[in-house]
Amino acid sequence: MKYLHDFGQYFIMLKGVFSRFTKWSALRKLIFKEIEDLIIGSLGIVAFIAFFVGGVIAIQTALNIDNPLIPKYLVGFATKQSVVLEFAPTFMSIIMAGKVGSFITSSIGSMRVTEQIDALEVMGINSLNYLVFPKLVSMMLYPFLITIAMFLGILGGWVASVYGGFSTHEDFVTGLQSDFDAYQIFYSYVKTFFFAIVLATVPSFHGYYMKGGALEVGKAATSSFVWTSVFIIILNYLITQLMLT
């Protein structure tokens, strides 16, 4: 019953985000600030994780194929497939649910408990539009972040394979180029787009409607992480089912 109520409330929130717009000059500033916090601020961790996990994926694949009948270029191919289809869009988004998500929940949540949201409302500002819309817009740049993750993941795989002696440069590149399927890339970006929306709105929801004090802000951030991850996993399943089968 509570879940149903929250689910309805979530869509009411989305409607609120797109009504009574804040002055454009103010929104523009907020959007740039959010791009800095949410996107630029995540570059470092995304690059770091993507590079090393890409390397591990390549090593694991290489170690698991000692059958001489399996072609050598498979390491490159498998790395590309895992990184582009799952690791970069999905796995990275779960990590972002922790980083970006808890940041959004705690920043909006602390504005709620210190009555800053009430202050906005008293001034006649639509606080949902003011707070959530810029986050949503800036998260439209999220696919760039994931592109970087894809690129660095594959680069990590290449470095680990070539310098670890698991594959040669030629074999790895052959693997990367084989069976190129534009539809799969499209699928990957469709997922990313939906995950971006979830990453911006679900944590905002948890922050905006929280009750209580500073302690509850922490709790809200935790449950926001759980729910954002759950939504990403479910959406991942649904989109995969719809697009790839």
Question: With respect to another protein, which residue has the nearer C-beta, 163 or 211?
Answer: 211
Show contacts with another protein in window 23-52 (CB under 8 A).
23, 25-26
How does DSSP classify residue 69? T
- Tell me how crowded residue 119 is: count the other CB atoms within 10 A of its CB: 12
| Of the candidate residues 121, 197, 219, 240, the single one contacting another protein (CB under 8 A) | 121
Residue number, 51 or 130, with CB nearest to another protein = 130
H-run or E-run covering 28:
helix 24-34
Options 13, 14, 16, 22; binder of another protein; rule CB under 8 A = 22
Stretch that binds another protein, among 3-11, 116-124, 135-143, 231-239 (CB under 8 A): 116-124
Burial category of 57 from C-beta neighbours within 10 Å (exposed 0-12, middle 13-18, buried 19 and up): buried
The closest of 73, 77, 79, 46 to 60, measured between CA atoms, is: 79
User: In 3D, which of 135, 139, 129 has the Cα closest to residue 93?
Assistant: 139
Distance CA 18, CA 10 (A): 13
- Residues of this chain, 220-239, that bind another protein according to CB under 8 A: none
Q: Give SS3 for 228.
A: helix
The 10 Å Cβ neighbour count of residue 123 is 9
The only residue of 8, 32, 64, 114 in contact with another protein, by rule CB under 8 A: 114
Q: Which of 115, 170, 179, 181 binds another protein (CB under 8 A)?
A: 115
Cβ 123 to another protein, closest distance in Å? 6
Q: Between 180 and 211, whose beta carbon lies closer to another protein?
A: 211
Report if residue 122 touches another protein, rule: CB under 8 A: yes
**Near another protein by CB under 8 A, which window of 115-123, 162-170, 180-188, 202-210?**
115-123
Give the CA radius of gyration of the chain: 21
**What is the binding site for another protein (CB under 8 A)?**
20, 22-23, 25-26, 110, 114-116, 118-119, 121-125
